[in-house]
């Protein structure tokens, strides 16, 4: 089963929920935790793996390389590139490539009349893997300066084993990287806060999940602060509230120390485990409807 954890905005506690879910399951199931927030992966901090215990695999994608000996600076490659990733300066007899902007579509090499473009691997980041007890943590780290997170997220998801219990920590927001992360999930947990900002971003995230036809439920973090608008919205939309995590100084302190809630406050382990059981039932019911 694949359960993703997402939020319309950053800083809502999405990673906290993903990590605590994985830890709550780890006694009973073989669990994979995939941190797809490749621009700011931080689930690993809760596991404190130490670099020596991690397996690291570089990830590449193909980008063009121009052999200027064969190039006549005709500019056809630059005209074809919709991403402005290749620029030809005929006056200076120069072709400039911006790998961070290139999506590796290969069109420039197809249109080149002089066969002057070949494809070469370009490193976009790494995938790190760490195994602790029955949790396998896999996370992508996007190389600084890379603007395209989606190819690395796709590669992290290639490591996914659906026969296991898989928890995906998605990037925040509602753009392409989020869609890449949550796509194919059986269920998505949306983490939100009961504030006007939380509600605004929640509504956007719900619309994305509706388009993707992924059933969802809410975890309300910092419950007790703010107002009741998120509750009213969830009722109106028929989106279940799976769990409320109250605002608590003790939790904030444990978080700042990198300690998962379920380790510091064991009574929370059952609450997270119960939430998974509830989700399993919902997924089963959904499957029956099909
Ligand atoms: S299309 Fe080929 S020949 Fe023309 S500028 Fe680009 S690399 Fe050079
Ligand atoms: S591979 Fe595609 S995106 Fe990259 S430079 Fe060529 S045309 Fe542009």
Each residue's pLDDT tens digit, 178-198: 999 999 999 999 999 999 999
User: How far is ligand 2, taken at its centre, from the CA of residue 78, in Å?
Assistant: 8
60 vs 160: CA distance, rounded Å? 18
pLDDT average, residue stretch 249-254:
90
**pLDDT value for 225:** 87
Exposed e or buried b for every residue in 19-33, given b needs 16+ CB within 10 A? bbbbbbbbeeeebbb
Query: Which tens digit of pLDDT belongs to each residue from 265-289?
Result: 999 999 999 999 999 999 998 888 7
pLDDT average, residue stretch 60-67:
94
Query: 232-240 long-range CB contacts below 8 Å, 24 or more apart?
Result: 233/199, 233/202, 233/203, 237/206, 239/190, 239/206, 240/278, 240/282
**pLDDT value for 103:** 86
Residues 6+ apart with CB under 8 A from 266: none
User: How far is ligand 1, taken at its centre, from the CA of residue 210, in Å?
Assistant: 44
Ligand 1 pocket residue status of 226, Cβ below 6 Å: no
**pLDDT value for 124:** 93
User: How far is ligand 2, taken at its centre, from the CA of residue 233, in Å?
Assistant: 44
Query: Which tens digit of pLDDT belongs to each residue from 5-59?
Result: 999 888 889 999 999 999 998 666 789 999 999 999 999 999 887 777 899 999 9
Architecture of domain 2-59+127-289: 3-Layer(aba) Sandwich (3.40)
Ligand 2 pocket residue status of 104, Cβ below 6 Å: yes
Instruction: Determine contact, residues 226/253, Cβ cutoff 8 Å.
Output: no
pLDDT average, residue stretch 69-94:
96
- List the domain boundaries for the chain: 2-59+127-289, 68-115
Q: Does position 89 have pLDDT exceeding 70, yes or no?
A: yes
Q: What is the CATH number of domain 68-115?
A: 3.30.70.20
Q: Does position 290 have pLDDT exceeding 80, yes or no?
A: no
Ligand 2: residue whose CA is nearest its atom 8: 81
pLDDT bin (cut points 50, 70, 90) of residue 95 is very high
This prediction's pTM: 0.88
- Say what percent of the chain tops pLDDT 70: 99
Instruction: Determine contact, residues 35/135, Cβ cutoff 8 Å.
Output: no
pLDDT bin (cut points 50, 70, 90) of residue 255 is confident
Residue 103 Cα: closest atom of ligand 2: 3
Nearest ligand to residue 67 Cα: 1
**pLDDT value for 187:** 97
pLDDT average, residue stretch 95-124:
94
Query: Which tens digit of pLDDT belongs to each residue from 123-146?
Result: 999 999 998 877 999 999 999 988
SS3 per-residue string spanning 65-91: EECCCCCCCCCHHHHHCCCCCEEEEHH
Tell me what the pLDDT averaged over the chain comes to: 93
**pLDDT value for 26:** 67
49 vs 47: CA distance, rounded Å? 5
Ligand 1: residue whose CA is nearest its atom 2: 112
Q: Which of 71, 72, 75 to mutate to test the pocket of ligand 1 (most atoms within 8 A of CB)?
A: 71
* Helical H segments across the chain, by residue range: 14-25, 76-80, 107-111, 150-157, 176-182, 196-212, 229-237, 249-256, 261-264, 267-289
Ligand 2 pocket residue status of 83, Cβ below 6 Å: yes
Return the percent helix, strand and coil in the chain, to nearest 5: 35, 30, 35
Longest dimension (CA), the chain: 70
Ligand 1: residue whose CA is nearest its atom 8: 71
Query: Which tens digit of pLDDT belongs to each residue from 219-231?
Result: 999 998 888 999 9
Instruction: Determine contact, residues 24/206, Cβ cutoff 8 Å.
Output: no
Ligand 2: residue whose CA is nearest its atom 3: 102
172: β partners: none
Ligand 1 pocket residue status of 117, Cβ below 6 Å: yes
Ligand 2: residue whose CA is nearest its atom 2: 105
Pairing of strands 165-169, 31-35: parallel
**pLDDT value for 28:** 67
């Amino acid at each position: 089963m694949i359960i993703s954890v997402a939020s319309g905005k950053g800083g809502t506690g999405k990673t906290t929920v993903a990590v605590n879910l994985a830890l709550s399951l780890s006694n009973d199931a073989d669990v994979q935790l995939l941190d797809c927030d490749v621009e700011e992966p931080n689930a690993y901090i809760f596991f404190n793996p130490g670099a020596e215990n991690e397996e690291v695999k570089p990830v590449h994608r193909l980008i063009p390389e121009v052999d200027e000996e064969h190039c006549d600076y005709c500019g056809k490659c630059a005209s074809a590139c919709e991403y402005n990733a290749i620029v030809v300066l005929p006056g200076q007899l120069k072709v400039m490539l911006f790998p961070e902007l290139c999506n590796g579509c290969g069109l420039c090499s197809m249109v080149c009349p002089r066969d002057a473009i070949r494809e070469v691997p370009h490193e976009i980041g790494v995938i790190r893997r760490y195994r602790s007890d029955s949790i396998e943590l896999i996370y992508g780290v996007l190389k600084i300066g890379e603007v395209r997170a989606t190819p690395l997220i796709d590669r992290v998801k290639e490591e996914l084993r659906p026969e296991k219990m898989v928890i995906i920590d998605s990037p925040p927001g509602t753009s392409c990287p989020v869609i890449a992360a949550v796509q194919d999930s059986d269920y998505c947990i949306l983490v939100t806060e009961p504030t006007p900002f939380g509600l605004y971003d929640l509504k956007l995230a719900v619309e994305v999940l509706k388009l993707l036809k992924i059933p969802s439920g809410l975890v309300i973090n910092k419950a007790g602060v703010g107002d009741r608008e998120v509750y009213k919205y969830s009722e109106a939309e028929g989106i279940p509230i799976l769990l409320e995590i109250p605002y608590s100084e003790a939790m904030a302190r444990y978080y700042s120390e990198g300690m998962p809630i379920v380790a510091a406050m064991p009574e929370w382990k059952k609450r997270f485990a119960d939430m998974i059981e509830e989700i399993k039932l919902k997924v089963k019911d959904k499957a029956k409807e099909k």
